[in-house]
Structure 1
Amino acid sequence: MNFSVPRPAEGGFSGGDAVLTVTQLNRRVAQLLEEGVPRLWVAGEISNFTRAASGHWYFSIKDEAAAVRAVMFRGRAQAVGFVPEVGGRYEFRVQVSLYEPRGDYQVQVESLRRAGRGDLHEAFLRLRDQLTAEGLIDPARRRPLPALPRVVGVVTSLSAAALRDVLSVMARRAPHVRVVLYPSQVQGRDAVPQLCAALDRAAGRAEVDTLLLVRGGGSLEDLWCFNDEALARRIAACPVPVISGVGHETDFTIADFVADLRAPTPTAAAELCCEDRSQVLGRLLAARALLVRGQRRRLEHANIRLDRARAQLVSPTQRLQMRRQRLEFAARRLQAGLGPLLLERGRRPSDALGRLSAGMNALLQRRHRRLDTVLAAMGALDPHRVLGRGYALVRRGDGMIVKNALDLKIHEPIEIEFGQGRAQAEVTRTDFF
């Protein structure tokens, strides 16, 4: 490969008596490298690979006789679609530069592809960029998975080890969840149409809550059917949430990008599709215990309020008797107070007291008759008098009076109040007239 280094600008490396600092020297060398060496492709083997917490990749590119340090910043690394392996041979698109603080010559990697597979990788990148532009890879498009699916569908080969892994995990973690298989080839020329047909069957039957698209590890060529555009569009359009679990953790396919969730392996896909039954049962038992404790507290408070209300309850007869006593007491006080008042004013006390007494007696008689009428009317409405004729009041456990037999449940405890006493009972049958 031919490239040329430009002549140094005026004031550059022209010699003379100028004295440069180390920083100035390194900056000028870095400028010469970046301007003089164009972006180019370099083939080599990865060694000393480090993935930093920041997301940047640091490694060396080497061949049989030499090595060069390389860095791939996070934004570029995320676009690769897979994590390179130490010892693997790749082709790197690089910009030559200098790390000025140490004066180390290095290359900044803008993209990489597996050596000898550049065409496939380029096709992968083009399709990924196209689907990204259309919004099919937008994370906002992904749908949430159901927390407690009842039926899970699996799209894979009948002979795949991935199917055995998924079934094993489901039997261990969620034996209550039914699994429906939509068989398809997952490798070879006929894999794409069969995978698309399997997704169509799952969407048409509408019998599953979550769909797993799984396959075990393999070479780039083995997994290439999962980089097909038609399959990617089927996954994006599927009305059922799709979990993609294709290959190993370091393998990325277009299906992973358009699925609602990517799992690193088929086993992980089965684990992510539903919660462990023991955890769900544990939460249910805790919720049940909390509910029981709360209901008990409510019943205890209700019983306390009921006891207080019963203690304050006064029958209508007692209430009228108290009113009658207060009225008679007021009449006696009035008679005792009017006598001295009339004597002081020079009136004839005997005549006045006689008229007053007669008037008070007539008033008291009228009030007594009204009280008797009210007492008779209220006595007819007194529930205890009704109970005395053979009727009974039925109350539920919360103290509410039962008016309709349909409000009762079989085996529900009830309390029956008679004219004399109460009884506890249990509902064994209800009839409605």
Structure 2
Amino acid sequence: MSEISREILSVSDLNRAIAASLEDRFDTVWVSGEISNFKAYDSGHWYFSLKDEEGQIRCVMFRGRNGQVGFMPQSGDLVEVSANLGMYVPRGDIQLTIKTLRRAGMGGLYEAFLKLKAKLAKEGLFDEERKREIPTHPRSIGIVTSPQAAALKDVLSTLARRAPHIPIVIYPTLVQGSDAPSGIIAALKAAEKEQVVDVILLVRGGGSIEDLWAFNDEQLAYVIASSPIPVVSGVGHETDFTIADFVADLRAPTPTGAAELAAPRRDQMLQELDAIMQALLQRINQRVEREAQTLDQLALRLSHALPNPDRMREQITNWQQRLNQAWAVRMDNWKRNQVHYQSQLEMLNPQRTLERGYSVILSREDNQLRAVRGPGELSTETVFQIQMADGGAEVRLADIKISP
């Protein structure tokens, strides 16, 4: 084939062909190197180069991927990345499109961190809805850390400066090593049992991922999530992220930051109290003025409502006279009624009937006397009692002849 008959490619076509060849030739690759010229754009994308002693390659990590990194890379960091190899066609630069990034040497630890983070996120332990509100004015503050940690000194110094009036309770524990997770859990449980603090600061200074690994413990994450006392996590430096940071109710960039977030400034509180006092005094003065005005109005109404004393005495005399008259009338009525009732009772008295010449025959049954009402009740065998006006007599009938 002659030179004239060969296809002539444009630069863009050639770059696209090279890019397609690279993408077909290389699957996901793992590359280690030192970061240089790191730039984080407002779009959220990261651009940098990876280099070693003999070469370098451009890299890009898009926002959707770098949100899972857990720390902010800096130039000079040694990292390991998984990426797709390709070419940025407009410039003809070979580049790595990074999918995951971790600190060099982390290997399995970082993979375990990402795996546990994904699991707990799926379970909802990182959800904002379940996080407890940090009290704005805690009555006491608990600190879970190592007594020998430099972070404790920084936290105590910050709390003494900002809020010297708030009591501090330290729950000592290891914060590094294989026994640290169980120690931190025990310290949190002790604070939960005592119920003497309103907020807990879980703090430790910076270090490598191995140094901070105790704060990536799964059981510790569940204990933090279930703690009835709000937890503020201040572990490592600003670029360090642990599982405890994601589960805690509030994450601070540093131990000092945790103390600042948990304790209000004393001078600011005094200013707030002064403002509240001024507002209360104003409200009290306004209330006193309103009540004084109301009292004046009531006094005026009372002065108009009070009657003339002479008039009151005259009314009392009239009421007494009317009461006496009503009582006299009532007594006369009672007396007349009593005479009438006595006359009625006298008319119904059986003795009056006997005095008019009548008699009554009584028979005894069951030790009781009752009047004989018919001739059929008479008997020659029974003793009858005849009651008359002047007395009575017992008789026995010799013969009974019943009249028609």
TM-score (norm 2): 0.70
Q: Among 186, 192, 197, which residue is 2:181 paired with? A: 192
Look up the equivalent residue of 2:262 and give its one-letter code: C
Give the Å deviation of 1:157.
Answer: 0.9
The alignment status of 1:115 with 2:108, answered yes or no, reads: no
- Alignment partner of 1:277 is 2:288: no
Percent identity, please: 51
1:219 aligned onto 2:161: no
| 2:198 paired with 1:237 | no
Matched, 1:207 2:149: no
Q: 2:47 aligned with 1:47, yes or no?
A: no
When residues 211 and 317 of structure 1 are mapped into structure 2, their CA distance, relative to the original with a 3 A threshold, is: closer
2:345 aligns to what? none
Opposite residue 261 of structure 1, the aligned amino acid is: L
State the Cα distance separating 1:216 from its structure 2 match. Answer: 0.9
**Counterpart pick for 2:161 among 168, 172, 197:** 172
Bigger radius of gyration, 1 or 2?
2
Counterpart residue number, 1:76 = 65
Deviation at 1:307, TM superposition (A): 4.3
Q: Which residue of 1 aligns with 2:282?
A: 293
Separation of aligned partners in 2, 1:68 and 1:309: 92
Give the deviation of 1:291 after TM superposition. 2.2
- Return the alpha-carbon distance in structure 2 between the equivalents of residues 173 and 15 of structure 1: 79
Q: Structure 1 residues 122 and 370 mapped into 2: Cα distance closer, same or farther (>3 Å)?
A: closer
* Correspondence for 1:149 among 138, 141, 165: 138
Q: Structure 1, residues 161-199: CA drift from partner, whole Å, max 9, x if none?
A: 111111111111111111111111111222122111111
The partner residue of 1:37 within 17, 26, 33 is 26
Corresponding residue for residue 411 of structure 1: none
Alignment size in residue pairs: 315
What does the per-residue CA deviation read over 1:182-224, in whole Å, with 9 as the maximum and x for residues that have no partner?
1111112221221111111111111111111111112222111
Q: 1:284–1:257: structure 2 CA closer, same or farther, 3 Å change rule?
A: same
Aligned pair in 2 of structure 1 residues 306, 101: CA closer, same or farther (>3 Å)? farther
Instruction: Tell me which of 144, 147, 154 is aligned to 1:158.
Output: 147
SS at match of 2:164: coil
Q: What residue number does 1:135 align with?
A: 124
**Residue matched to 2:376:** none
Other structure's SS at 1:61 match: strand
In structure 2, what is the Cα distance between the partners aligned to 1:370 and 1:286?
A: 56
Map of 1:16 onto structure 2: 7
Asked if 1:264 corresponds to 2:206, the answer is no
Q: Post-superposition shift, 1:92?
A: 0.7
Moved more, 27-36 or 230-239: 27-36
Q: The residue matched to 1:90 in structure 2 has which SS? A: strand
Q: What value does the CA root-mean-square deviation take over the aligned residues?
A: 3.0
Q: Deviations over 1:298-338 (max 9, x none)?
A: 433444455466567653477999xxxxxxxxxxxxxxxxx
Cα contact 1:149–1:210 (8 A) shared by 2: yes
Partner of 2:315: 373
Are 2:37 and 1:95 equivalent residues in the alignment? no
AA paired with 1:149? P
Contiguous gaps of at least 5 residues in structure 2: 320-404
Q: Kindly tell me: are residues 208 and 15 of structure 1, through their superposed partners in 2, closer, same or farther at Cα, counting changes over 3 Å?
A: farther
Q: 1:88 to 1:316 in 2, by over 3 A?
A: closer
Alignment deviations for residues 261-310 of structure 1 (CA, whole Å, 9 cap, x no partner): 11111111111112111111211211221221233234334444554665
Q: Deviations over 1:80-107 (max 9, x none)?
A: 1112232121111112233344444322
Cα distance in 1 between the residues matched to 2:17 and 2:313? 117
Per-residue CA distance 1:326-382 (angstroms, 9 max, x = gap): xxxxxxxxxxxxxxxxxxxxxxxxxxxxxxxxxxxxxxxxxxx999639989xxxxx
